[in-house]
Structure 1
């Protein structure tokens, strides 16, 4: 009989723990908040280390993708510049051909090509 009385006595104690009485601000319908403990959510060292490794690999992959994209962009820019230079040179030789003889223009082209190869 004593054991049942102890068991019955234990249940009211639990309910009294939850009922803390009237709240000071009078808002009893709000849920009771726990104390703010910023250190309670800290992760162990192994977890932080894994997270750092994962972030490092992700950043490396992102950097690789950005570098590829930038290289492609630079390649397009250089090809456009080369096309512009070739077009300007072609127009220049066409203007020269209007004034000069065709064979002389061809000789000048070959000479310019030789000089370009020697200088670069």
Structure 2
């Protein structure tokens, strides 16, 4: 009865299970050593990253400025519309008291004065 049975080879690198922790807090994750220089990158990488961040910030600033200019334009349009409405109402009120031709004459005179001021 000479039968050769192949026995699987056990690797020599056996993973050691850590023993109990000294402070008794076995439920905490095991900590690794503090290495302050581990996260340092080269100057070239940092410069490239900063350049990318600067491009993004410039684009954001441009978009914000565009949005704000649109907002200001809408506000100005509303103000202009209100001013025109107020002036029209004022002339209508004057027309109730005065003759139509006199109101038109005053309109023309006020228009000339506005042009001279600006």
* TM superposition score category, shorter chain reference: 0.7 to 0.9
TM-aligned CA distance change 1:37 to 1:103, over 3 Å:
same
Flag the structure with more relative contact order, 1 or 2, with Cα contacts below 8 A and sequence separation at least 6: 1
Consecutive aligned runs of 4 or more in structure 1 exceeding 3 Å deviation: 18-22, 26-32
**Alignment correspondent of 1:41:** 39
Q: Which runs of 5+ in 2 are unaligned?
A: 1-11
**Alignment correspondent of 1:90:** 88
CA RMSD of aligned residues (A): 2.0
Q: Higher helix proportion, which one?
A: 1
For these two proteins, the number of residue pairs brought into alignment is 107
For residue 67 of structure 1, the aligned residue among 65, 68, 73 is: 65
TM-score relative to the length of structure 1 = 0.79
TM-score relative to the length of structure 2 = 0.80
Q: Which runs of 5+ in 1 are unaligned?
A: 1-10
TM-aligned CA distance change 1:85 to 1:25, over 3 Å:
same
